[in-house]
Each structure stands twice: as structure tokens, then as C-alpha cells.
Structure 1
Amino acid sequence: NCWWECKLVQPLWKTVWRFLRKLTIELPYDPAIALLGIYPRDTEMLMHRSTCTPMFIAALSTIAKTWKEPKCPSTNEWIKKMWFIYTMEYYMAMRNNEIWPCVATWMDLEGVMLSEISQAEKDKYHMFARIGGL
């Protein structure tokens, strides 16, 4: 299917799993996890669900955006989409005075995202450490 098996989307999924490894999250490379949210029953994996799910949603959104184009979905586009999700969750957490669950979810991922994107992109999209500065 176009969401997982297509040669054009495989590089993005490989990047998603590379990010997971950088976060020391070892998930099987399985479309059921990324596409359907069916995680292994291992309780340690369930603990990482709040980190993984936004990554998968951002990847699916990035794939959908390039649906009919004969090109690979961009890693930079995926990171920008994750950054948008992160920013919205951060401001919602601040508004609701519930920052610590947001910190727990995004702290490590924030660092990985910032390390992967160029300084020009960071400047263009105003990407700066929100949590790392707490």
C-alpha cells in the first residue's frame, strides 16, 4: 500500500525508526504500529506511546501531502510537522498549567529534532528549545 510499502515512503519510515533508536526506543519495524497504533503488549513500549504517536501522525500527514507526487516525502517536512504538533501541545499545556506531562513527552525528541535540521530552517520556522530552556 502507498502508506507503507511504496518505495517512495520507505526512506521516511526508515528515518522515523532512526529517530526512535536515537531516543533509545526499540520498536519492531511494523506497519501495524505506525499506521494503526497497535503497539506490542510490552509495558515498556506502552510507556513510549505518547512520544511515538505524534511522530507517526506527522509522518502520515507528510506522506498524505505528497500523495500523488513522484517524490519521497521530505524529512524536513516531517520534522516541521512534528515541530508544529509539539508547539501546539506545548502552548496547550502552558494554558492548562500542565507543563510536566508535555516535558516528559517532548524533552528528548526536541533535542533530536533540533539536531537534525539546519540552522537556516531553525531560523526560518522559529525553532528554538522550548523545554530545554526550562
Structure 2
Amino acid sequence: KSENSRCWRGCGETGTLLHCWWECKLVQPLWKTVWRFLRKLTIELPYDPAIALLGIYPRDTEMLRHRSTCTPMFIAALSTIAKTWKEPKCPSTDEWIKKMWFIYTMEYYMAMRKNEIWPCVATWMDLEGVMLSEISQAEKDKYHMFARIGGL
């Protein structure tokens, strides 16, 4: 058992769960990027760790309507943070976007298998456009394939 209660990223702060997942200066840039994506999607959520970490959304029905879009973004961010847990660096936006593409791909294939493609399209169409706006042309050619496969 380690007696060191400092942040595992090495920032020097006390490593509470809230600090390590949300407050650390090395993870904050990723969370700021997540909220920038939300604004591009015209989703106005309070910048609140309860939403991103626990899935506790404001009771406003307008906010709840966006849950299916926001939740995969938050899961991808948490996965990206966990993947670089003991590294003294900011989790990469590129890695976060790749994780979202992976989630998108799995949801797409599951929807195809269940013959329920339209709910998947409704959830991911706007988010796909924002993700594509953030990556290079080579990556666009690689990832945009899913929309073409589905004839969308």
C-alpha cells in the first residue's frame, strides 16, 4: 500500500478521486475540449463533474434529450484519462476522438445487426461532423467510411 496521497500524474496536488478525474491541470484541457465539442453541437451543459463523471444531468428536459450524444463523449474522455493514468501529460484529444470513433463503430455495427440504424444515425450524425472537423484529411478518409457504408 502506498502512503503517497499525491496525484498520480505528478502535478503535486493531493490525489483525490475528484482531482485525478476532473480537477488536475493535466486533465482539464481534455475536459475543456469536450465542452468545446458540446458547444459546437449547440449543447449547453453546465461545466460540472457530476455530469461527466457520474452521469447526473440537470433535470431540464432539454438537457436530458442530449444524454445519448453526451454520454459516449464522456465515456471516451474517461477511458482516455484512465489510459494515461500515471503519465505526467495531458490526455490527447486525438486519442479521445479515436476512442469516440471506436464507440461509434461498435454502436453502428450493433445497430446494423439489430436492424435499428436510424436511432444510431440520429445520435451520431452531428457528432460525426464535429469529429471530422477536428482531424486530418487522411483520418477523415479513414473514418468517414462508416457514413458511406450505411448509405447516409
Q: Which piece of structure 1 moves more, 117-126 or 72-81?
A: 117-126
8 Å Cα contact 1:58-1:81 kept in structure 2:
yes
8 Å Cα contact 2:76-2:96 kept in structure 1:
yes
8 Å Cα contact 1:103-1:131 kept in structure 2:
no
- Report the Cα offset of residue 36 of structure 1: 0.2
8 Å Cα contact 1:40-1:46 kept in structure 2:
yes
The one-character-per-residue Cα deviations of 1:3-42 (angstroms, maximum 9, x if unpaired) are: 0000000000000000000000000000000000000000
Larger Rg: 2
The one-character-per-residue Cα deviations of 1:59-84 (angstroms, maximum 9, x if unpaired) are: 00000000000110000000000000
| Change over 3 Å in CA distance of 1:107–1:85 after alignment to 2 | same
- TM-score, with length taken from structure 2: 0.83
| Change over 3 Å in CA distance of 1:125–1:25 after alignment to 2 | closer
Query: Could you say what secondary structure the match of 2:146 adopts?
Result: coil
| Change over 3 Å in CA distance of 1:2–1:125 after alignment to 2 | same
Residue segments in structure 1 that go unaligned for 5+ positions in a row: none
Residue segments in structure 2 that go unaligned for 5+ positions in a row: 1-18
Tell me what 1:52 maps to: 70
RMSD: 1.8
Moved over 4 A (4+): 123-128, 130-133
- Report the Cα offset of residue 119 of structure 1: 1.8
